[in-house]
Amino acid sequence: SSGAKMRRTVPRGTLRKIIKKEKPQLRLAANTDLLVHLSFLLFLHRLAEEARTNAFLDKSKMIKPDHALAAGKVIKPFKS
Amino acid sequence: PLQSLQAKLAAKSSGASHRRPRETGIVSSWVKKVFSHYAKMPVTRDAFRIVEKCSERYFKQLSNDLEAYANHAGRKTVEMADLEVLLRRQGLVTDKVPVQVLIEHHLPLEYRKLLIPMAVSGNKVIPCQ
């Protein structure tokens, strides 16, 4: 469903490196990085939708920093 | 040209590289691509920087949580079950939307094959959990 233009390969090595940088001791079982990717995709999706809504409400034709900033405040990485 | 190359290499091996590892560029262009795909409208350069910051924070939180889940289960390795807990806590996986549905909707076939249990030739089953 999420379009054709976007390159759909997962930067698996990069993802693992990012987590390795945060938690050098932590090991990832096979293919868990794919679900990390999935959750990040959906995070960006939520963030983009929210930023887009903010831009619309602001009658702006492009997403500006404030729109992204407000979106980032609403779309917390995790609900806790 | 050789001198500039040496200067470049020197810069890379100095402290600057600690703050800005090589992956940062890859990550930011990838984040940019994905975000603008979902945004469906132009995004200013500074807005992209905000998105990058949010992404950094996201991965920091994600790493913390995965570590906590694994530790809680007395493991040093993050397993699929931990990821499922994570997706559930993010509100992405619910009783109505199981993880398999998310995978089918958002990941290309080559990766779906790795994640969703299915019978393959030789009666072998690639496990999900």
Cα separation, B121 vs B123, whole angstroms:
5
Our CA-based measurement puts residue B98 at a distance from the nearest CA of chain A, in whole angstroms, of 13
Task: Please check the confidence at residue B22 and state whether its pLDDT lies above 70.
Answer: no
Closest CA to A49 of B37, B47, B92: B37
DSSP reduced 3-state for A5:
coil
Our CA-based measurement puts residue B93 at a distance from the nearest CA of chain A, in whole angstroms, of 10
| pTM for the full predicted model | 0.78
What tokens appear for B111 in the block? Answer: 């990766």
Q: What is the ipTM of this complex?
A: 0.87
Task: Please check the confidence at residue B126 and state whether its pLDDT lies above 70.
Answer: no
pLDDT tens, B42-95? 999 999 999 999 999 999 999 999 999 999 999 999 999 999 999 999 989 999
Q: Which fold has domain A12-74?
A: Histone, subunit A (1.10.20)
- Which residue's structure tokens are 């094959």? B113
Average pLDDT for chain B: 82
Domains and CATH numbers, chain B: 28-78 (1.10.20.10)
End-to-end CA distance of chain B, in Å? 53
Radius of gyration, CA atoms only, chain B: 20
The domain segmentation of chain A, as residue ranges, is 12-74
Query: A-chain residues within 8 Å CB-CB of B57?
Result: 77
